[in-house]
Amino acid sequence: MEALKVKENIYWVGVKDWNLTEFHGYHVSHGSTYNSYLIKDEKIALIDGVKQYLSQENIERIKSVTDFSKIDYIIVNHVELDHSGNIPELVKLAPQAVVVTNSAGKMALEAHFDTTGWNFQIVKTGESISLGKRNITFVTTPLLHWPDSMMSYCPQEKILFSNDGFGQHYCANTIWASETNFGIVCEEAKSYYANILFPYGMQAQKALNTANELNLEIEMIAPSHGCIWNGKEEVNWILSNYAKWASGETDGSAVVVYDTMWGATAKLAETITAVFQDAGVPVVKRCLTNAHTSEVMCDILEAKYVVIGTPTLNNELFPRVAAFVTYLKGLAPKNKKGFAFASYGWRGGVVNKIQTIMEELGWQTIAPFEEKYTPKPEVLEKLKEHTKQILG
Active-site positions read 24, 78, 80, 82, 145, 164, 192, 225
Residue 233 burial (CB count, 10 A): 9
Q: Is 108 exposed, middle or buried (0-12, 13-18, 19+ CB in 10 A)?
A: buried
What single-letter amino acid sits at 345?
A: G
State how beta strands 337-344 and 369-372 pair.
Answer: parallel
| DSSP-based three-state secondary structure for 192 | helix
Q: What CA–CA distance (Å, rounded) separates 158 from 153?
A: 7
Q: How far apart are CA 144 and CA 202, in angstroms?
A: 9
Give the Å distances, CA to CA, from 198 to 92, 195, 228, 239, 241: 36, 6, 21, 15, 13
Rg (CA), the chain: 24
Helix (H) or strand (E) holding 202: helix 201-213
Q: How many residues does the chain have?
A: 392
Cα(320)–Cα(210) distance, rounded to whole angstroms?
Answer: 40
